[in-house]
């Protein structure tokens, strides 16, 4: 579940996620551990040119549809979207690239609320799904579908990873996560991130980011429909080159969210006492 945020977002990758380090969040006996590493060297051969990835079919049910089989971990998306972006997509600051980056900034800055379903595909090809809510600035919530009872919640200042099965919670300053780039009051990717690559196709735009301030490590790739921009998915690559893919479906824009969604569970992590006499 943490892979939706972690992996290593180097400002090298949302941190959404974004999504998404070094920014690898590890958990040991309910204790949060922040570890920072250096992204591994890119592979010698550049991956195949970027094509529009398969996204979940949008269905009327509240659950996100399972993504099309893409062969993660083999010659599918895992190889296609490795740490090294295609050489033809390197960000040079050319006028066309700057114009598209301005469009991406405007997309997020005009976005107050976003909700929908997500499908998470881990590096081992395991899939999880659920529903998410975003309220800018600063608030997110990811609820994993049963049988999982895990949640990711940001209240605008801290981001909590809650495991209601294990009765544990871990909290991190939002500023230390990849989400800060997209949830800030004013999104300006050129100012706050290093733009590693920007690939512009007929129907898709892919931007690869790295944290300019070095608060996180790894890379995040954001995928948008184009030319009518709409966020469709992101891929977070960690320092070992392992990818976590988050696909979005059934998106609803600027629908007001219940403020309670962004409130932490107050009793999570507290000892459980059974009734009875001493």
pTM of the model: 0.68
Residues composing the chain? 278
Q: How many CB atoms lie within 10 A of CB 106?
A: 12
Of 138, 161, 140, the residue nearest 149 (C-alpha): 161
Query: For 26-49, how does the pLDDT look when each residue is reduced to its tens digit (9 = 90+)?
Result: 222 233 323 233 333 434 344 444
Q: How many CB atoms lie within 10 A of CB 36?
A: 15
What is the chain's alpha carbon radius of gyration, rounded to the nearest angstrom?
A: 18
> For residue 134, with 0-12 CB atoms within 10 Å meaning exposed, 13-18 middle and 19 or more buried, which class applies?
buried
Query: For 44-93, how does the pLDDT look when each residue is reduced to its tens digit (9 = 90+)?
Result: 344 444 444 444 443 333 333 333 333 222 223 333 444 444 455 889 99
Query: For 163-187, how does the pLDDT look when each residue is reduced to its tens digit (9 = 90+)?
Result: 998 989 999 998 877 778 888 999 9
- Note whether 77 and 36 are within 8 A (CB): no
109-to-105, 112, 136, 145, 222 alpha-carbon distances in Å: 6, 8, 9, 29, 16
Query: For 103-134, how does the pLDDT look when each residue is reduced to its tens digit (9 = 90+)?
Result: 999 999 999 999 999 999 999 999 999 999 99
């Amino acid at each position: 579940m943490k892979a939706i945020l972690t992996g290593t977002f180097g400002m090298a990758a949302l941190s959404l996620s974004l999504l998404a380090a070094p920014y690898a969040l590890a958990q040991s006996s309910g204790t949060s551990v922040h570890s920072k590493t250096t992204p591994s060297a890119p592979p010698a051969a550049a991956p195949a040119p970027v094509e529009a990835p398969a996204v979940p079919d949008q269905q009327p049910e509240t659950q996100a549809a399972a993504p099309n089989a893409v062969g993660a971990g083999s010659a599918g998306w895992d190889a296609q979207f490795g740490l090294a972006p295609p050489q033809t997509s390197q960000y040079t600051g050319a006028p066309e690239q700057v114009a598209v980056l301005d469009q991406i900034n405007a997309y997020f800055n005009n976005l107050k609320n976003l909700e929908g379903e997500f499908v998470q595909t881990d590096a081992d090809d395991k899939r999880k799904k659920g529903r998410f809510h975003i309220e800018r600035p600063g608030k997110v919530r990811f609820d994993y579908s049963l049988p999982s009872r895990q949640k990711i919640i940001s209240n605008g200042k801290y981001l909590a990873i809650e495991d209601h099965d294990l009765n544990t919670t871990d909290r991190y300053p939002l500023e230390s996560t990849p989400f800060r780039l997209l949830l800030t009051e004013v999104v300006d990717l050129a100012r706050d991130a290093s733009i590693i690559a920007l690939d512009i196709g007929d129907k898709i735009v892919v931007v690869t980011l790295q944290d300019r301030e070095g608060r996180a490590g790894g890379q995040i790739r954001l995928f948008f429909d184009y030319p009518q921009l709409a966020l469709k998915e992101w891929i977070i690559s960690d320092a070992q080159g392992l990818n976590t893919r988050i696909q979005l479906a059934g998106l609803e824009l600027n629908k007001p969210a219940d403020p309670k969604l962004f409130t932490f569970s107050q009793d999570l992590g507290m000892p459980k006492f059974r009734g009875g006499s001493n």
